[in-house]
Amino acid sequence: MRKNIIAIVGRPNVGKSTIFNRLCHRRSAIVDYEEGVTRDRKYQETEWLGHSFILVDTGGIIPKSSGKINQAIKFQAGIAIEEADFILFIVDTKVGLTDIDMQIGKILSQKREKVFLIANKTDNEKDELEIYDFMKLGFGEPFPMAAANGRNVANFLDELITHIDRVPAETEDDDIKVAIVGKPNVGKSSLINRIFGKEMNIVTDIPGTTRDSIDSSLLYKEKKFTFIDTAGLRKKKKIKYGVEYFSNMRTIESINRSDVVLLIIDADQGITNQDQKIASYAQRNHKDILIVFNKWDLVEKKEQKMRDFKLDIRYQLPFIEFAPILYISALTGLRTNKILDTILQIEEESKKRIPTSKLNKFLEKITSRFPPSHSSGTHVKIYYGTQIQTHPPTFVFFCNNATLLTKHYKRYIHNQLREEFNFAGASIRLYFRSREPQQWQ
């Protein structure tokens, strides 16, 4: 279940960043000045009394002239209205009600039901007498708070979480959740349309048309697939403050709740640094992965290009070299019919369980061929291993001293596991545990 997104909005210098840091229980560097508008790019998952949510610190408005103020305010407040689940509208008790506050309030009034008005810098009871002028904004009585010293912050959070549904425990279901991710304009929505055989999402040649994660389900070979079509991930420095910023958060959230990540790469452009970052995030979170090179109809010398891409994956994406590769065209339908079958194969590999006896025969074979060693000369012995989980396949190996196992040797075991048992498309996890002391390494 997606976590609620809570945006902090208001004019400059009302204490938005201080509130953000206080609610996140940390101090963060968040100011990123640009001419005309302060555009910070800070978000943080936080929680209060078991309720998790994503807090977003937005930039204040710094108008250069009265002619630009309405446009700037409408832009920022409009984003909050469109993308956030809740909005914390911050005003400054020390300064009082301003014309900019009124203009922000006018736009936020379109979604009055999800706005919380906070009178920050209300340091004491005397200051509380000054907050009632803010009722002219039309959001009722403001909540008095002083984020700098923590006054009333806990009380406010208690109030906030009464409006946020507690995220329920994940329920086991049998459908395969597939997150379609990649740079903007690689054809994610076109691929969804091709798979479903109808116009599921708007398709244009403008990067970033899809602004939110959209779930679409279908039944194939008696198996339910839920596809999560996401906005394209961009490099952080190129994410301009706006709808695209919120979409980036939702893309990450989509990867987090998926079973299989469909990484779409533009075959006409090849693998980019951003593709590496997306793939790395998916792998670090132990997601099953399928690599899809789209726009294959535009590629010349296809056989040579296939060989080139396999080499590129080996050198640029070695951490997902286990992922199957498909060369498709969402536009023409070339090989798109293989996607669902390949996902089913990946799921089968991810749910595969290796019997302990078979695993230990394998372990004996590879350790006798290449025994573990340590530069100190200390004897290193791996006694046995067992698989403790599927999806992702997870193995634990018991040693005399797990701290003596080098990264190189752990990688050796990982690679040999794949060579012996395949696990194509499935991320696998290895843990190494010492017999004494009894702790995970």
- Tell me: the pLDDT tens digits for 79-95? 656 667 899 999 999 99
pLDDT at 53: 85
Q: What is the pLDDT of residues 97-128, one digit of tens each?
A: 999 899 889 888 888 888 999 999 999 999 99
Are 31 and 157 in the same domain? Answer: yes
Tell me, what's the pLDDT at 223? 92
Residue 145 domain flag: yes
- % of the chain exceeding 90 in pLDDT: 49
pLDDT of residue 171: 44
In Å, the largest CA–CA distance within the chain is: 79
Q: Which of 294, 322, 350 is the last residue of a domain?
A: 350
Task: Examine the pLDDT at 41 and tell me if it is beyond 80.
Answer: no
How much is the pLDDT for 377? 77
Residue 93 DSSP class: T
On whether both 257 and 186 belong to a single domain, the answer is: yes
Cα of first residue to Cα of last residue in the chain, in angstroms, is: 31
Residues 26 and 84 in one domain: yes
218 and 99, same structural domain? no
Domain presence at residue 427? yes
217 and 112 share one domain: no
pLDDT band of residue 66 (cuts 50, 70, 90) is low
Domain membership flag for residue 441? no
Query: Hey, which of 20-29, 50-59, 159-168, 241-250 has the most confident mean pLDDT?
Result: 50-59
Closest residue by Cα to residue 249 from 116, 113, 58, 107? 58
The predicted pLDDT at position 428 comes to 95
Average pLDDT over residues 158-186: 74
- Residue ranges with strand state E in 249-404: 260-266, 288-294, 325-327, 382-389, 394-399
For β-strands 223-229 and 288-294, DSSP reports them as: unpaired
Residues 230 and 334 in one domain: yes
Which pLDDT band, with edges at 50, 70 and 90, does 237 fall under? low
In this prediction, residues 329-346 reach a mean pLDDT of: 96
- Find the mean pLDDT for residues 347-366: 96
Residues 204 and 191: beta-carbon distance below 8 Å: no
What does the DSSP 8-state code read for residue 292?
E
Q: Going by C-beta distance under 8 Å and a sequence separation of 6 or more, which residues neighbour residue 214?
A: 200, 201, 228, 229
Q: In this structure, which amino acid lies at residue 168?
A: P
320 within 8 A of 285, measured Cβ to Cβ: no
Same domain, 241 and 291: yes
Higher pLDDT, 25 or 95: 95
The band of 420, judged by pLDDT with boundaries at 50, 70 and 90, is very high
Angstrom distance (rounded) from CA 76 to CA 103:
12
Q: Closest by alpha carbon to 181, among 237, 244, 253, 231? A: 231
φ, ψ of residue 347 to 5 degrees: the values are -60, -40
Q: Whole domain around residue 56: which residue ranges? A: 4-161
249 closest CA partner among 22, 43, 13: 43
**Residue-level pLDDT at 225:** 92
The CATH number assigned to the domain holding 385 equals 3.30.300.20
Burial of 88 by CB count in 10 Å (0-12 exposed, 13-18 middle, 19+ buried)? Answer: buried
CB 423 within 8 Å of CB 391 = no
Give me the mean pLDDT over the 184-201 stretch.
80
168: how many CB neighbours lie within 10 A of its CB?
7
What was the pLDDT predicted at 28? Answer: 46
Q: With b meaning 16 or more CB within 10 Å and e meaning fewer, what string describes 343-359?
A: bbbbbebbeeebeeeeb
Listed residues 301, 328, 350: the one ending a domain:
350
Residue 171 lies in a domain: no
**Domain boundary pick from 128, 161, 194:** 161
Whether residue 369 is found in the same domain as residue 232: no
How confident is the model over 142-167, as a mean pLDDT?
A: 86
Backbone φ and ψ of 98, nearest 5°: -120, 170
pLDDT band at 214 (very low <50, low <70, confident <90, very high): low
In a domain, 332, yes or no: yes
Q: What is the pLDDT of residue 24?
A: 82
Question: Contact 323/278 with Cβ under 8 angstroms?
Answer: no
List 178's β-bridge partners, or say none. Answer: 227, 260
pLDDT band for position 269 (cuts 50, 70, 90): very high
> Is residue 126 located within the same domain as residue 232?
no
Domain assignment present for residue 53? The answer is: yes
If asked whether residues 323 and 425 sit together in one domain, one would say no
- Assess if residue 166 is contained within a domain: no
User: What's the mean per-residue pLDDT of the chain?
Assistant: 81
The rounded distance, in Å, linking the Cα atoms of 441 and 402 is 7
Q: What dihedral angle (degrees, nearest 10) is formed by the CA atoms of 181, 187, 189, 190?
A: -140
Residue 319: pLDDT band with limits 50, 70, 90: very high
Both 344 and 365 in one domain: the answer is no
Record the pTM. Answer: 0.60
Q: What is the CATH number of the domain that holds 300?
A: 3.40.50.300
| pLDDT > 90? residue 141 | yes
Question: Do residues 53 and 140 both lie within one domain?
Answer: yes
pLDDT surpassing 50 at residue 397? yes
Q: Phi and psi dihedrals of 196, rounded to 5?
A: -85, -10
In a domain, 72, yes or no: yes
**411 touches 274 (CB < 8 A):** no
Most confident of the ranges 35-39, 50-54, 97-101, 160-164: 97-101
- DSSP secondary structure string for all residues of 125-163: HHHHTTGGGGGGGSS-SPEE-BTTTTBTHHHHHHHHHTS
Q: How far is CA 392 from CA 283, 312, 351, in A?
A: 11, 26, 7
- The DSSP letter of residue 224 is E
Mean pLDDT across the stretch 217-240?
A: 69
Q: For position 120, what pLDDT does the model report?
A: 96
pLDDT for 211 beyond 70? no
Q: How many domains does the chain have?
A: 3
